[in-house]
A = this chain, B = another copy of it.
């Protein structure tokens, strides 16, 4: 966990409202694992006041990239960063995906901007020689992000691109073809999508990890602002920022 003044290498638009921000930051890039996130102080002023959390999308040498959609004050400020500007970043934060487990085929399931952490994960999985298949969903073609994915099957609610329906329905329709592989599912996306994915994985008893989201104030465990219900211990919440954001699909009850 480091605090770094990272230098902006580039801001690239890769979709209607989707951007890549590449930051020069040796420490964070060196220690990052797939599924971890960074917490960024977007401006020097009180607006926005709090840091903004973003998954680490990929790592290139001593720089790393985040992928974000511009939804409000913080992200629109990020989108306007100029090359050479310095940005105050904290990270890497949280626990990432585990590449362990006895599986031959990794099944990536992304909903919308949930695609963000997967380029990094896919690269690491490749190194271990696992097979990879990707499912990416969105409301319509523009919301369906397949950046640096491989063997992608797409789903859109309006059918404007790929399968018509949500990404979990698509996964369901394809699952028979995967039945005889030993698979592990890696999911990230909006909570409703994660809920149906969780339901799907549990009922089919697939090994799976999901990257969850929560509003956050600190991002490193000091504010208790990001609780998530544990399935095992009802006395105590888990923290998305510190115990997550990635959890085994069996360990958390999604809100």
Chain B proximity mask over A58-78: 1 for CB below 8 Å, otherwise 0: 000000000000000100000
CB of A103 within 8 A of chain B?
Answer: no
Q: Is the CB of A102 closer than 8 A to any CB of chain B?
A: no
**Which B-chain residue is minimally distant from A73 (CB atoms)?**
B45
> Taking the complex as formed, is A2 at the interface, i.e. its CB lies under 8 A from any CB of chain B?
no
- Chain B residues with Cβ below 8 Å from A45 are 45, 47, 73
Instruction: List residues of A (34-84) whose CB comes within 8 Å of B's CBs.
Output: 45-47, 73
For residue A77, which residue of chain B has the nearest CB?
A: B45
> A64 vs B45: C-alpha distance in the bound complex, in angstroms?
29
**CB nearest to A47 among chain B residues:** B45
Q: In the complex, which residues of chain B have a beta carbon less than 8 angstroms from the beta carbon of A47?
A: 45-47
Q: Which residues of B contact A46 (CB under 8 A)?
A: 46-47
- Bound complex: CA A248 to CA B147 (Å): 68
Residue numbers in B under 8 Å from A73 (CB-CB):
45
Residues 9-48 (chain A) with a chain B CB within 8 angstroms: 45-47
Instruction: Kindly state the separation between the CA atoms of A73 and B43 in the bound complex, as whole angstroms.
Output: 13
Bound-state Cα–Cα, A73 to B46, Å: 11
Q: How far in angstroms is the closest Cβ of chain B from A46?
A: 6
The complex places the Cα of A47 from the Cα of B45 at a distance, in Å, of: 7
A46–B73 CA distance with the chains assembled, in angstroms: 11
Q: Compute how far the CA of A73 lies from the CA of B45 in the bound complex, rounded to whole angstroms.
A: 9
Q: Kindly state the separation between the CA atoms of A163 and B73 in the bound complex, as whole angstroms.
A: 51
What distance in Å separates the Cβ of A31 from its nearest Cβ neighbour in chain B?
33
Closest to A45 in B: B47
What is the bound-complex CA distance between A46 and B47, given in angstroms?
A: 7
Query: Could you show 6 A-B contacts with beta carbons less than 8 Å apart?
Result: A45-B45, A45-B47, A45-B73, A46-B46, A46-B47, A47-B47
The 6 closest A-B pairs by CB, nearest first: A45-B47, A47-B47, A46-B47, A45-B73, A45-B45, A46-B46
